[in-house]
Amino acid sequence: MKIENYQAEWFDEQQQFSLAELADLSGMPEAELRQLVDYAALAPVDSDAAEARFGAKSLITARMAQRLRNDFDLDTSGLALALSLLERVRELEARLQTLGAQSPKIHR
């Protein structure tokens, strides 16, 4: 069997994307991504810039948005709400992970 060898690279957190690139890579239509920006579910790196650029985490969010939209038939408003709630869950889980790591186990 043919084995393909790859040098995997960390998803570059510094990488930035235009709205068109975000749409291409996530499968979300540009118009809906713009609406998600209006709902603050997606945030450009610099909101005052002439052309909006998005950080790497926005690609993760846009891909998730595409899956949720397709699998749950969500409109953009519902999608934005789901994304913001999932982001809160993610933050709480990260907090839980930190507290769990810091809490000593019972040792006898």
CB of 50 to another protein, least distance (A): 27
Q: How many Å apart are CA 57 and CA 65, to the nearest integer?
A: 12
Among 4, 48, 49, 51, binds another protein (CB under 8 A): 4
CB of 7 to another protein, least distance (A): 5
**Residue 26 CA neighbour count, 13 Å, CB half:** 28
* 3-class SS of residue 49: coil
From residue 48, alpha-carbon distances to 12, 23, 43, 44, 71 in Å are 23, 21, 11, 9, 34
As measured in angstroms, the least distance from the Cβ of 27 to another protein is: 7
Report 36-55 residues binding another protein (CB under 8 A): none
> CB-wise, 49 or 101, nearer to another protein?
101
Candidate residues 55, 64, 74, 87; the one interacting with another protein per rule CB under 8 A: 64
